Amino acid sequence: MLAARGLTKHFAVKGGLLQRTVAKVRAVDDVDLAIHRGETVALVGESGCGKTTLGRLLLRLIEPTQGDVLFNIPEEDYERIRTRGEPDSMEDGPASDLVRRYSMSRLRRRSMKSLRRFLQPVFQDPFTSLDPRMLIKDILAEPLIVNGIATRQEAYELGAKQLQEVGLRPEHLYRFPHEFSGGQRQRIAIARALVSEPEFLMLDEPTSALDVSVQAQILNLLLDIQQKQGLTYLLITHNLSVVRHMADRVAVMYLGRIVERAPTAELFANPLHPYTKALLSAIPVPDPSRRRERIILPGEVPSPINPPSGCRFHTRCGFVLVHCGWSPRDIASIATHLFDPSRNPDAADLTKLDEVVIQGDRLLLEYHTPATEEHRQRVERLVKARADLPDGIRFRAIQQVAIDDGRIVLEFLHPMEPSLDEVSNGHFVSCYLYPNTAIPGRPQ
Ligand SMILES: Nc1ncnc2c1ncn2[C@@H]1O[C@H](COP(=O)(O)OP(=O)(O)OP(=O)(O)O)[C@@H](O)[C@H]1O
Ligand code: SF4
Ligand SMILES: [Mg+2]
């Protein structure tokens, strides 16, 4: 029904007096995701990983920086696009015609307007998403009137009918939003999304602002409506119990990328990505004999402005390997101590360290005097000693210690991101721990 193809959204960060773009937040980066008619796909991941942005892109509430959203594309055409190369190389290929035919991102404003009624959002906070000055009857009728879908009279009738579908009564039509409880307001928000008879709902944390007792009622209402009307859902939530209750498939996001996706039962029984394992370890298990160990991830979520190279999770992963994407950034601050004779007695035979510079995959150490072979060997020994320590894995990714133009150069393995590969039926993971995933420097 909906398919993201290389979908990317970078937000500009403005700064300085002239408000120039100084950086980009890579909120969603090159995401592929297909959602089939009638299913519920859940999107999970820590705060700020890009879930809402991806949902908004799928509904074309915001424009992508790159990539396409394909709407109503038959399975076989989607497969043809998927197997015919990457989006960048497709511009003139046979797949590009197909992309153009189904792409929502390339639709003009008018055609998009007629499509919009089929794709509706429901947001987390029913307290802010309903206009406090409007009567419920107008809130429900407005989308139909504005989009020219129904006459005013028809719109009121459809609104009244939809209000009953979500468990409210006709007399509620003549009240204002503040006269309702949180659960009732979310019912109204759902009714408003449903009046235009959509096919797809993006549910962004639909119950997290509600009391626990009300959450289950709203979720069951959503399930009922889905069954009755054959709707397709994208469900964004932090609550993994909700995912288990509602979703057919789950996609796990980390820093703008999908790192794992699988059918719900499979994901819960057999999580593969270390990040997914950590997320799932936080769910309480009622049976103490089956209690699993909670995995606490070290450190903060890195900034999406400059996400870690290679596997974006490598700075926090408990299973990290040498080729997971270590780069000069990961040792630059240690390097200013380790290779400086004034700070580290083991570096005493080196001259004064003037500067540490990151240049692509290389870390350059600039000493007060041009480096000699003896200096190079000393640095190499320091690297090796560090690499042999239990936490020295980032130093094991240094391939070579060389001299270039009087400076010492630490050359890293070129960081590459693991691709999202299918490891078993419908179970995709992006991690070097699993077969199928191409490892940098290793022949296929
Ligand atoms: N309009 C915007 N301008 C700039 N940055 C934005 C904008 N919208 C989102 N971002 C940034 O993009 C990243 C992803 O945000 P998003 O809201 O999609 O995350 P999320 O996964 O939905 O988080 P949460 O679980 O907290 O709702 C964040 O770093 C956020 O700060
Ligand atoms: S590729 Fe896998 S093992 Fe390596 S850092 Fe990423 S999640 Fe961890
Ligand atoms: Mg969000």
312 lies in some domain: no
Which residues contact ligand 1 via a Cβ below 6 A?
11, 25, 27, 47-53, 304
Average pLDDT over residues 150-156: 93
Can you give the pLDDT at residue 288? 66
Average pLDDT over residues 203-229: 93
Can you give the pLDDT at residue 90? 47
Residue 75 sits in the same domain as residue 112: yes
Range with the poorest average pLDDT among 25-34, 207-216, 313-322: 207-216
> Which domain range does residue 338 map to?
328-412
Grade residue 95 by pLDDT with cuts at 50, 70 and 90.
Answer: low
Task: Please tell me the pTM assigned to this model.
Answer: 0.92
Can you give the pLDDT at residue 290? 64
Q: Indicate the residue among 163, 178, 197 that finishes a domain.
A: 197
* pLDDT tens by residue, 334-354: 999 999 999 999 999 999 999
299 lies in some domain: yes
Residue 253 sits in the same domain as residue 219: yes
Residue 359 sits in the same domain as residue 442: no
Can you give the pLDDT at residue 415? 92
Closest CA to ligand 1's atom 8: 53
CATH no. for residue 368? 3.30.1360
Q: Choose the residue to mutate in 24, 26, 51 for probing ligand 1, maximizing ligand atoms within 8 Å of C-beta.
A: 51
Residue 444 sits in the same domain as residue 428: yes
Q: How far, in Å, are 135, 138, 163 from residue 171 at the CA level?
A: 11, 13, 10
The alpha carbon of 429 and the centre of ligand 2 are apart by a number of angstroms equal to 10
User: What gap in Å lies between CA 368 and CA 79, rounded to an integer?
Assistant: 59
321 lies in some domain: no
Reading the block at residue 423, the tokens are: 């490891």
* pLDDT tens by residue, 414-437: 999 999 999 999 999 999 999 765
The answer to whether the beta carbons of residues 342 and 313 sit under 8 Å apart is no
Average pLDDT over residues 37-43: 97
Q: Quick check: 444 pLDDT over 80?
A: no
Residue 74 sits in the same domain as residue 147: no
Residue 212 sits in the same domain as residue 174: no
59 lies in some domain: yes
Residue 207 sits in the same domain as residue 257: yes
Residue 211 sits in the same domain as residue 356: no
Can you give the pLDDT at residue 301? 87
Average pLDDT over residues 246-272: 97
Can you give the pLDDT at residue 421? 93
137 lies in some domain: yes
Q: How many domains does the chain have?
A: 3
Residue 191 sits in the same domain as residue 205: no
The alpha carbon of 316 and the centre of ligand 2 are apart by a number of angstroms equal to 9
* pLDDT tens by residue, 283-332: 777 666 666 678 888 888 899 999 999 999 999 999 999 999 999 999 99
Rg of the chain on CA atoms, in Å: 26
38 lies in some domain: yes
The residue that leads in pLDDT, 52 or 438, is 52
Mean of the per-residue pLDDT values of the chain: 90
Residue 139 sits in the same domain as residue 222: no
Can you give the pLDDT at residue 312? 97
175 lies in some domain: yes
Q: Indicate the residue among 163, 197, 231 that finishes a domain.
A: 197
Can you give the pLDDT at residue 18? 84
* Residues above pLDDT 70, as percent of the chain: 93
The alpha carbon of 273 and the centre of ligand 2 are apart by a number of angstroms equal to 7
140 lies in some domain: yes
Residue 160 sits in the same domain as residue 259: no
The residue that leads in pLDDT, 77 or 43, is 43
Residue 187 sits in the same domain as residue 213: no
Q: Indicate the residue among 197, 222, 239 that finishes a domain.
A: 197
The alpha carbon of 52 and the centre of ligand 3 are apart by a number of angstroms equal to 4
CATH no. for residue 63? 3.40.50.300
